[in-house]
Amino acid sequence: MTTVPANSPPSESIQSPLREISAIAVPVSLEMVIQLVLTFVNQVVVGALGAAAVAAVGLSGSLSFLFFITLGALGSGTSILVARRAGANDRAGVDHTLSVALGFTALVGALLTVPLLPSAGALLRLAGGAPDVTALATPYLQVSLLAFVPGLLGWILSGALRSLGHARTPLVATTIAVAVECLAAYGLVFGVGPLPALGVVGAAWALVLSNVLKVVLLAYQVYGPRHLSRFVLPRVGGRGPIIRPLLQVSAPLALTEFVWSLGGFLYAAVFARVGTQALAASQIVGTLEGIFIVGSFGLMSAATVLIGRSLGAGDAQGARTWLHRITRAGLVTGLGFGALFAVSALMVPGLFPKVGASVHQMALTGILIAAATQVVKVRNMIVGGGVLPGAGDGRGVILGDLVGAFGVGLPLAIWWGLYTPMGIWGVFLARTLEEVAKVAIFEWRRRRLDWETLAREQQGQVHATAH
């Protein structure tokens, strides 16, 4: 079987290492920045309705994100497997892997959405939101859950496109979807022209519209005139060899994403118990932080794709070289975007004039605390979200997330936030210490990787599946 060199994406000419990293990382980061800017714009729009509205959208968003990011691991697993098959020049394997992943994800997503719809209110009350916040958040969450399945399918198609050397395509689709959502959110929240004034729920309907539009655009790019892949399900007996590796790669990722997002949800619950103002401030901090940290997010995808291609082609040295290049890039972007994040604190009073001075002060301090450790978070993102899963060390990722969140961060957040005068400042500091604990564990696991063995094993798996 002919193989593609590890340093050459299947659909692009040979380019310098920096350009190859940038070709994947920059479009992915821009896509995530655009998505989070949209979230921030929606917060600004909803913020005109008061602090309770901001808290409601944040609380329901943290709960829906818990389920979305968990099943989103199927998209990451698909991207890893597609990258390996592309590295081995296995076109049929790419088609079968993507087709099976789309069908399986749609089924699982639908089965999860149905029971969540009637239980939305109970879950939000369990999170500790005040009655006025829960009343606003419940219908928002129920509507936004309708975006669950199309959002997951869009994640899978985006990951496959990046692995096939078309990282700019998801960026274009996201930009179009975001523009539509911004207009729809403003119109549906305040009732512009013929659109009804739905308040907070209007932002949720805009989210549904955006996700449906995005998955339609991505599917057209994959299966339309460009013929990047074919929707071909293998025979019944041939699906097992695809589903098993998909679950083997995705299950550890799903568990660690669940642990990570559950931690975020529980932090939101702690903030909610500190007070509605604290919850509103934490949502402002989290949204602004996301805008700047995703400037480095594409490096995680670059690690997944480039290291995956090297391993699929049996090139252990290539995998190590990409690891060094990508983590060095993460240090630079983490420092740069962390500084910009700190400066963004000056914008909060102007962007959220109606949430109150105390919320402004809380958000200012939270931003400065989080910005100080952004470079550590970027390192965790690259190693824990890209390198270790791509190398098959899901246990290391789970260990880091469990110990960081449930052994260090959350216990300190509960203690300092609820039982000491530190209050909200204690919760912000606890989240910082969580990241420090995770970076130590991820680095320990990274140093244990045997790249030569991984390259032999994963190349063998790709060839076995192809035959």
pLDDT of residue 258: 76
d(CA 132, CA 452): 57
**Residues 276/55, Cβ–Cβ less than 8 Å:** yes
Backbone angles phi, psi at 286, to 5 degrees: -65, -40
d(CA 90, CA 264): 39
Q: Give the model confidence (pLDDT) of 64-103 as tens digits.
A: 766 777 777 777 777 777 877 777 777 777 888 888 888 8
d(CA 282, CA 126): 19
Nearest CA-CA partner of 256 in 401, 405, 139: 401
d(CA 52, CA 228): 46
Residue with tokens 């009732």: 191
pLDDT of residue 201: 81
Give Dmax over CA atoms of the chain in angstroms: 66
**Residues 38/123, Cβ–Cβ less than 8 Å:** no
d(CA 151, CA 211): 5
Rg, Å, the chain Cα set:
22
Residue with tokens 């308040």: 199
pLDDT of residue 463: 53
User: Exposed, middle or buried: residue 135 (CB in 10 Å: 0-12, 13-18, 19+)?
Assistant: middle
- Give me the torsion for CA of 402, 404, 409, 412, rounded to 10°: 90
d(CA 71, CA 69): 6
pLDDT of residue 462: 53
- Token readout for 215 is 């998955």
Q: Print burial letters for 399-408: b (CB count within 10 Å at least 16), e (below 16).
A: bbbbbbbeeb
User: Exposed, middle or buried: residue 244 (CB in 10 Å: 0-12, 13-18, 19+)?
Assistant: exposed
**Residues 3/264, Cβ–Cβ less than 8 Å:** no
**Residues 90/242, Cβ–Cβ less than 8 Å:** no
What are the DSSP calls for 353-399, one per residue?
TTS-HHHHHHHHHHHHHHHHTHHHHHHHHHIIIIIHHHTT-HHHHHH
Residue with tokens 């005109």: 48
pLDDT of residue 314: 82
Backbone angles phi, psi at 129, to 5 degrees: -70, 145
pLDDT of residue 434: 93
pLDDT of residue 427: 92
Q: Give the model confidence (pLDDT) of 391-442 as tens digits.
A: 878 788 888 888 998 999 999 999 999 999 898 899 999 999 999 999 999 9
Q: What is the DSSP letter of 145?
A: G
Residue with tokens 């920059």: 26
- Give me the torsion for CA of 23, 458, 223, 22, rounded to 10°: 0
Q: Give the model confidence (pLDDT) of 223-253 as tens digits.
A: 888 887 878 776 665 555 666 777 777 776 6
- Token readout for 224 is 């339309």
d(CA 161, CA 254): 21
What are the DSSP calls for 182-226, one per residue?
HHHHHHHHHT-TTS---THHHHHHHHHHHHHHHHHHHHHHHHSTT
Nearest CA-CA partner of 167 in 70, 86, 260: 86
Q: Give the model confidence (pLDDT) of 245-285 as tens digits.
A: 777 777 766 776 777 777 777 888 888 888 888 888 888 88
Crossing angle between the packed helical segments 236-274 and 276-293, to the nearest 10 degrees: 130
Is the pLDDT reported for residue 301 higher than 50? yes
- Token readout for 430 is 């606890």
Q: Where are the domains of the chain?
A: 17-462
pLDDT of residue 236: 60
Q: Chain centroid to CA 329: how far? A: 20
